[in-house]
Chain A
């Protein structure tokens, strides 16, 4: 229990803005920030990001918690606040509140293989875990790693500059897919849930970690379950509209559980006991 004023953000400065998507809309950017008062966080957690006079939005951390000099948040331009965030440039002052929420159960996953599946912007909240586990100090605690990342078009992949590095990591297979065929594309085509049976993995010794739009998560978890994976081995991180981040404002609940404090990370075993309202 914390008695600290939970609504007061602390100041941060934008160090760098990275244009992620190269499709016509160019609607995803990553913002590298330096906090006045840095804090520790764990993979899976999120922050509230403020632009004074415009408002506050929720974003999962998009960079490894092992990086102490800065943190990154990946933002899709999709509404009022994100429109303004996209207009910010290096040197701009912004405000951050957090960290909030639970974390991926990294200790529980030790000794197992991992299968990350991300759709579009869904790769961003997985990146802290991906980079944390690829760190030489942690890599040995986990088995084989599969990664499948999906985007609408070849220009819509985020963190594309990381893919070569990830694909070259020991005992790691890296796959990409797009929604429909495109000229010059020789990788997978189709939604992720139709592809996982084309990727060899040990169903009994793998944790699946999923993030993407809710319909994708529902289809994908269904596909893993159908292949015989235990719901306790399928994890996802949920998106939900929220205001406070501390379980008070009443927006992000699924049944009695709040995505902001009980989540955002849930196993399919947990989700199966909750109403399907997400």
Chain B
């Protein structure tokens, strides 16, 4: 819980929407809306479109800090100038898994462990205000709690909205979040185990280790221990190389720089790229370090569960389950990591048993 003074404000839904309408004059507001029959984060033009409930939207909101295409710079005759257009964005109704994904992107692009700061990400992050909401919907494939994320609450927001009888309670969590949703001062909503509102139960755990108290899904091993010893080809069997998993992922952030010419002016844009495509790593000289699909899926899994933890100190998977639900080939990062954990445990057990035996002797 943040050290911020716990104050909260209660309002009915119409007052919340009136506040949102007011906020739309100052911010571009991104919030869950129903679009083509499904709930998705989108820039809103009408407050009545906003769905303030505790369901998980289809895609992640990462585009507020990392758009699929954004202008980076323009070439002028004698100099290059910055070309990024930034406006203040208010993200409302962000679910805790998606908020935790922002933390991952923060570390990678602007964190202290990185040797360079990405000023483009920084600019967007500075202009972003995040108002979170809890999630009561465990979709098939969701496993946020196994990733240590509380679906009911995230303190990494500027403010948090809780649905209560007769409306909503807004609790500012940072100075930035102060005053966004005015209302009658009230007691902050009690959360977590103390209140008995620990959030939804996750999908039945296939390993039978139990939902809430399941062992945290993470890989505690060296690269050598998992790189060639795990059945990567079997994990990747259904992959058709479409890259959907990377586009829909809240933490995937690989990109390319592309030039576009319009009316004689060349603008360089940053566009999303995907490690699941064979040309992603193709050298100019023709050599390619990752020619096979299993090598590319291994990169995706280990980048999230080994390389980013090593470089930035946190695992880059939120358990949102989007890649699992969207994969046409049935690839499942949760089951893959769970299987790796099982195999690592099995391979260590005999050694440990032997150690104990030796100690006893």
Residues of chain A touching chain B, judged by Cβ–Cβ distance below 8 Å, are 1-11, 36, 50, 52-57, 76, 78-79, 82, 95, 121, 213-215, 239-241, 243-244, 246-251, 253-256, 261, 273-275, 277-278
Contact = CB atoms under 8 A, between A and B. Distances in A.
Contact of B259 (A55, A253, A255): A55
Nearest to A97: B80
A184 to B, nearest CB: 28
A265 B261 CA distance: 36
A246 B227 contact: no
Contacts of A54: 259
Contact of B117 (A2, A79, A82, A241): A2
Contacts of A215: 287
B356 interface: no
B349 interface: no
A75 B326 CA distance: 42
Interface stretch (B30-38, B108-116, B184-192, B334-342): B108-116
B227 A255 contact: yes
Contacts of B82: 5, 8
A6 B289 contact: no
Task: Summarize B's interface: helix, strand, loop or mixed.
Answer: mixed
B127 to A, nearest CB: 16
A251 B283 CA distance: 11
Given A11-B78, A52-B266, A3 B119 contact: yes
Interface in B261-291: 261, 266, 268, 270, 273, 275, 280-287, 289-290
B259 A248 contact: no
A36 B115 CA distance: 26
A79 B290 CA distance: 19
A240 B261 CA distance: 27
B117 A1 contact: yes
Contacts of A1: 112, 114-117
Contact of A249 (B224, B255, B299, B307): B255
Given A78-B285, A250-B255, A7 B268 contact: yes
B284 A240 contact: no
A278 to B, nearest CB: 5
A65 B282 CA distance: 30
10 contacts: A6-B117, A9-B73, A78-B284, A240-B283, A248-B109, A250-B275, A254-B289, A274-B223, A275-B223, A278-B289
A78 B254 CA distance: 24
B307 A253 contact: yes
Given A52-B75, A214-B287, A248-B109, A255 B118 contact: no
Interface string B221-233: 0011001100000
B115 A53 contact: no
B116 A7 contact: no
A193 to B, nearest CB: 17
B310 A240 contact: no
B72 interface: yes
A7 B72 contact: yes
Contacts of B118: 6, 246, 248
Q: In the A-B complex, list the 5 residue pairs whose CB atoms are closest, starting with the nearest.
A: A250-B254, A246-B116, A256-B307, A52-B75, A256-B310
Given A213-B287, A248-B108, A7 B257 contact: yes
A277 B275 CA distance: 14
A56 B257 contact: yes
Contact of B73 (A8, A79, A275): A8
B117 A3 contact: yes
Nearest to A4: B119
A239 B285 contact: yes
Contacts of A8: 73, 80-82
Nearest to B78: A11
A240 B289 CA distance: 9
Nearest to A275: B227
Contacts of A250: 253-255, 273, 275, 303
A159 to B, nearest CB: 18
A40 B15 CA distance: 60
Contacts of A274: 223
B24 to A, nearest CB: 31
Contact of A251 (B72, B120, B281, B306): B281
A247 B114 contact: yes
Contacts of B306: 255-256
B116 A2 contact: yes
Given A2-B116, A52-B266, A250-B253, A241 B281 contact: yes
Contacts of A36: 78
Interface in B69-90: 72-73, 75, 78-82
Contact of A255 (B270, B282, B307): B307
Contacts of A214: 287, 289
Given A53-B259, A55-B258, A241-B283, 8 more contacts: A3-B119, A8-B82, A10-B80, A57-B284, A250-B303, A255-B307, A256-B311, A277-B290
B12 interface: no
